[in-house]
Structure 1
Amino acid sequence: MSTQDTKIALVTGASRGLGRDMAINLAKKGLDLVLTYKSDHQSANKVVSEIENIGQKAVALALDVSQQPKYATFFEQVLIPELKARFNTSKFDFLINNAGTGLSKPFMETTVTEFHELFRVHLEAGYFFTQQALRHMNDHGGIVHITSGLTRIIYPGSSAYAVMKSALETLTKYQAKELGDRKIRVNAVAPGAIETDFNGGYVRDNAQVNARIASLTALGRVGLPTDVGSVVAFLCTDQGQWINAQRIEVSGGQAI
Structure 2
Amino acid sequence: MNFTIFGLIASKIQGSTYLILPLNLKLKMMSTGKKIALITGGSRGLGKDMALKTAAKGLDVVITYHSKKEEAERVVAEIKKIGCHAVALQLDTANVSGLDEFKRNLQQVLQSEFKAENIDFLVNNAGIGINQPIAETSEETFDLLTNIHFKGVFFLTQRLLDILNDGGGIVNISSGLARFTMPGYSVYGALKAGIDSLTRYEAKEFGKRGIRVNTVAPGAIETDFGGGLVRDNKQVNQHVKQSIALDRVGQADDIGGVVAFLCTEDAKWVNAQRIEVSGGQNI
Q: Structure 2 length as normaliser, TM-score?
A: 0.88
Which amino acid in structure 1 is aligned with residue 227 of structure 2?
Answer: G
3-state SS, counterpart of residue 228 of structure 2: helix
The alpha carbon displacement at 1:221 in A equals 0.6
- Specify every segment of 5 or more residues in structure 1 that has no aligned partner in the other structure, as ranges: none
The alpha carbon displacement at 1:70 in A equals 1.0
Matching residue of 2:117: 90
Matching residue of 1:126: 153
Q: Are the counterparts in 1 of residues 93 and 153 from structure 2 also a CA contact under 8 Å?
A: no
Give distance in 1, aligned partners of 2:211 and 2:147.
Answer: 24
In the alignment, structure 1 residue 171 sits paired with structure 2 residue 198: yes
Matching residue of 1:57: 85
1:192 corresponds to which of 219, 222, 235: 219
In the alignment, structure 1 residue 67 sits paired with structure 2 residue 87: no
Task: Give the paired residue count.
Answer: 255
Matching residue of 1:253: 280
Matching residue of 2:24: none
In the alignment, structure 1 residue 232 sits paired with structure 2 residue 252: no
Q: Which runs of 4+ in 1 moved over 2 A?
A: 1-5
Q: Are the counterparts in 1 of residues 40 and 65 from structure 2 also a CA contact under 8 Å?
A: yes
Matches within 5 A, 1:33-52: 33-52=61-80
Structure with the largest fraction of strand? 2
Matches within 5 A, 1:3-14: 4-14=32-42
Q: Are the counterparts in 1 of residues 223 and 252 from structure 2 also a CA contact under 8 Å?
A: yes
Q: Structure 1 length as normaliser, TM-score?
A: 0.98
Give distance in 2, aligned partners of 1:203 and 1:255.
Answer: 16
Matching residue of 1:147: 174
Which amino acid in structure 1 is aligned with residue 54 of structure 2?
Answer: L
Task: State the structure with more CA Rg.
Answer: 2
In the alignment, structure 1 residue 117 sits paired with structure 2 residue 139: no
Q: Which protein, 1 or 2, shows the higher relative CO under an 8 Å CA cutoff with sep ≥ 6? A: 1
The alpha carbon displacement at 1:5 in A equals 4.1
Matching residue of 2:10: none
The alpha carbon displacement at 1:108 in A equals 1.2
Give distance in 2, aligned partners of 1:163 and 1:39.
Answer: 26
Report the aligned-residue RMSD.
1.2
Q: Percent identity?
A: 52
